[in-house]
């Protein structure tokens, strides 16, 4: 059988066949994900920096408050101290906090200086606070100390000259850091979850803002898809001010492309019509001549005429595809064309079954061209039986044309769609029938597949076009 071609692979995505591979390979990721990632990184950095600064401020404030209480006790201790008759220091009034009387209570005081044994609170018991003579504490000295096992201390000390004494006495007040650390931990346990919650909320807000802000781009994408599907000719939906200029430029570009396509189609049509008349003259002149030269002229002129018809069909399809929202009933087209084919091939029996209401997004004249080439091939090269099935396959209108001829081997299906290739040169033809079908179907976003008929044993041609 002649005039057939191997099936191109059908992509799962109906738009993937129309999308240039080079364009797809240049996609560098999602704009929304980029914006959300940048916002998340910036929010994280700000919250981390702000949280660290706030933690330092709160920790310092708690520590200063803690030290202020100890300093108040230290000053009270200094005011209550005097030098006794024996030259040793003593306290006139005991400090009021009962923890100074409880051994190892975590709150301690001590006065040391000269040769006197350190004078300390009962809470120290047998322990003593370490004093260092390497520095003078004329001003208040505050530091942390780990001199006691398992008890870190916050120590405040100051050197004082008491009246009636030449000895520099060191007054020390110390308290366990456990209370201070507990307060700091309590602040952090509130601060950290609050900042985390704030960060998550801000990131979610940034995501919502991003998706909402980019939503008009999705409208544009759907509008362009509708234009490719033949539903609309322009993007005319109301859009935000920032996007509207781009849409206007897009619509202007579409109008410009349509104008150029129409001009190219007119030029192709004019050229084809200009060639048809000389070809007709050549055919008529050589019709009554039986010489080899006349036979060659008739054969080559017929081939040229078929080429002209092929390019006219492509030009018409391109023009209609860009200018209208075409719809055609598949059953009506097959029924109409089958009557004409039956007159040309009276020995062939054509049967039709399937969905009578199925509509394809294609111009009726182009659909007749597709159906006519398929039915003519099946009737010409088949064994006499042609069966046509019309059905819907997802978003496609599908037409199956089967015959009981010898079929086409898988090896030949890879080249039979090449223009001019004919497997059966004993019957008239130019080898352009299925090439026209393929080209016109692809213009409308359709595909054609060659298979083997399980019922009739010959060739099965599966034509898919976008469903209306």
More confident residue, 277 or 465: 465
Q: How confident is the model at residue 74 (pLDDT cuts 50, 70, 90)?
A: very high
% of residues, the chain, pLDDT over 70:
84
Position 154 scores a pLDDT of 94
Backbone torsions φ then ψ of 149, nearest 5 degrees: -60, 135
Q: Which residues on neighbouring strands pair with residue 391, listed in sequence order? A: 398
**DSSP-assigned letter for residue 416:** T
Position 316 scores a pLDDT of 61
What pairing do the DSSP bridges indicate for beta strands 107-113 and 116-120?
antiparallel
Q: Secondary structure of the chain: what % helix, strand, coil (to 5)?
A: 50, 20, 30
Which distant-in-sequence residues (6+ apart) come within 8 Å of 305 by Cβ? 276, 279, 280, 283
Position 251 scores a pLDDT of 83
Position 420 scores a pLDDT of 47
Q: How confident is the model at residue 27 (pLDDT cuts 50, 70, 90)?
A: low
Angle between helices 364-381 and 292-323 (to 10 degrees): 140
Is 274's pLDDT higher than 70? yes
The residue among 408, 297, 414, 397 whose CA lies nearest residue 356 is 397
pLDDT averaged over every residue in the chain: 81
Position 10 scores a pLDDT of 38
- Grouping H, G, I as helix, E, B as strand and the rest as coil, residue 57 is helix
Q: What tokens appear for 380 in the block? A: 């010409």
Is 459's pLDDT higher than 60? yes
Q: How confident is the model at residue 109 (pLDDT cuts 50, 70, 90)?
A: very high
* Cα 146–chain centre separation: 57
Q: How confident is the model at residue 310 (pLDDT cuts 50, 70, 90)?
A: low
The residue among 293, 310, 301 whose CA lies nearest residue 277 is 301
Residue 345: CA count within 13 A, CB half-sphere: 19
Single pTM value for the model: 0.51
Q: How confident is the model at residue 1 (pLDDT cuts 50, 70, 90)?
A: very low
Position 464 scores a pLDDT of 92
Range 323-338 average pLDDT:
82
Phi-psi region of 160 (alpha: psi -120 to 50; beta: other; left: phi over 0): beta
Position 288 scores a pLDDT of 72
Instruction: Give the length of the chain.
Output: 468
Position 107 scores a pLDDT of 94
Do 108 and 173 contact (CB within 8 A), yes or no?
Answer: yes
Least confident of 41-45, 213-217, 312-316, 424-428: 424-428
Most confidently predicted of 186-195, 312-321, 416-425: 186-195
Range 173-183 average pLDDT:
93
**DSSP-assigned letter for residue 467:** B
Position 41 scores a pLDDT of 94
Q: How confident is the model at residue 2 (pLDDT cuts 50, 70, 90)?
A: very low
Range 409-413 average pLDDT:
76
Position 325 scores a pLDDT of 61
Q: What tokens appear for 11 in the block? A: 């992509």
Do 163 and 180 contact (CB within 8 A), yes or no?
Answer: no
Render pLDDT for 338-362 as a digit per residue (tens, 0 to 9).
Answer: 988 888 888 888 989 988 899 998 8
Least confident of 13-27, 53-67, 406-420: 13-27
């Amino acid at each position: 059988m002649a005039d057939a071609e191997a099936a191109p692979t059908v992509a799962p995505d109906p738009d993937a066949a129309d999308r240039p591979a080079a364009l797809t390979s240049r996609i560098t990721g999602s704009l929304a994900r980029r914006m959300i990632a940048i916002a998340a990184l910036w929010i994280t950095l700000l919250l981390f920096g702000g949280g660290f600064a706030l933690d330092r401020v709160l920790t310092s404030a708690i520590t200063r408050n803690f030290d202020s209480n100890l300093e108040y006790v230290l000053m009270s201790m200094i005011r209550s101290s005097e030098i006794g008759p024996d030259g040793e220091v003593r306290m006139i009034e005991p400090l009021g906090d009962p923890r100074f009387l409880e051994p190892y209570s975590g709150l301690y005081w001590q006065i040391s200086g000269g040769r006197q044994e350190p004078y300390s609170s009962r809470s120290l018991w047998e322990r003593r606070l370490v004093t260092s003579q390497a520095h003078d504490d004329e001003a208040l000295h505050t530091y942390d100390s780990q001199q006691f096992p398992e008890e870190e201390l916050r120590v405040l000390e100051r050197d004082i000259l008491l009246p009636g004494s030449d000895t520099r006495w060191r007054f020390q007040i110390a308290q366990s850091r456990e209370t201070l650390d507990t307060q700091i931990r309590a602040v952090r346990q509130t601060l950290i979850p609050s900042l985390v919650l704030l960060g998550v909320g801000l990131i979610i807000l940034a995501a919502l803002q991003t998706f909402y802000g980019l939503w008009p781009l999705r409208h544009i994408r759907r509008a362009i898809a509708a234009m490719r599907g033949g539903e609309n000719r322009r993007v005319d939906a109301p859009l935000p001010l920032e996007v509207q200029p781009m849409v206007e430029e897009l619509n202007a570009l579409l109008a410009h492309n349509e104008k150029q396509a129409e001009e190219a189609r007119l030029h192709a049509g004019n050229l084809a019509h200009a060639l048809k008349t000389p070809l007709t003259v050549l055919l008529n002149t050589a019709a009554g001549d039986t010489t080899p030269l006349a036979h060659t002229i008739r054969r080559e002129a017929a081939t040229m005429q078929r080429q002209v018809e092929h390019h006219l069909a492509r030009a018409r399809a391109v023009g209609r595809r860009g200018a209208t929202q075409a719809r055609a009933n598949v059953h009506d087209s097959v029924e109409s064309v089958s009557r004409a084919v039956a007159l040309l091939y009276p020995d062939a029996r054509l049967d039709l079954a399937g969905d009578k209401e199925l509509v394809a997004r294609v111009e009726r004249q182009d659909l007749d061209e597709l159906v006519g080439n398929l039915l003519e091939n099946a009737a010409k090269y088949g064994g006499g039986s042609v069966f046509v099935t019309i059905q819907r396959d997802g978003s496609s209108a599908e037409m199956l044309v089967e015959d009981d001829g010898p079929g086409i081997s898988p090896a030949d299906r890879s080249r039979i769609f090449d223009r001019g290739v004919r497997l059966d040169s004993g019957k008239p033809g130019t080898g352009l029938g299925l090439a026209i079908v393929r080209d016109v179907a692809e213009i409308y976003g359709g595909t054609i597949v060659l298979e083997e008929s399980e019922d009739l044993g010959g060739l099965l041609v599966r034509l898919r076009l976008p469903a209306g």
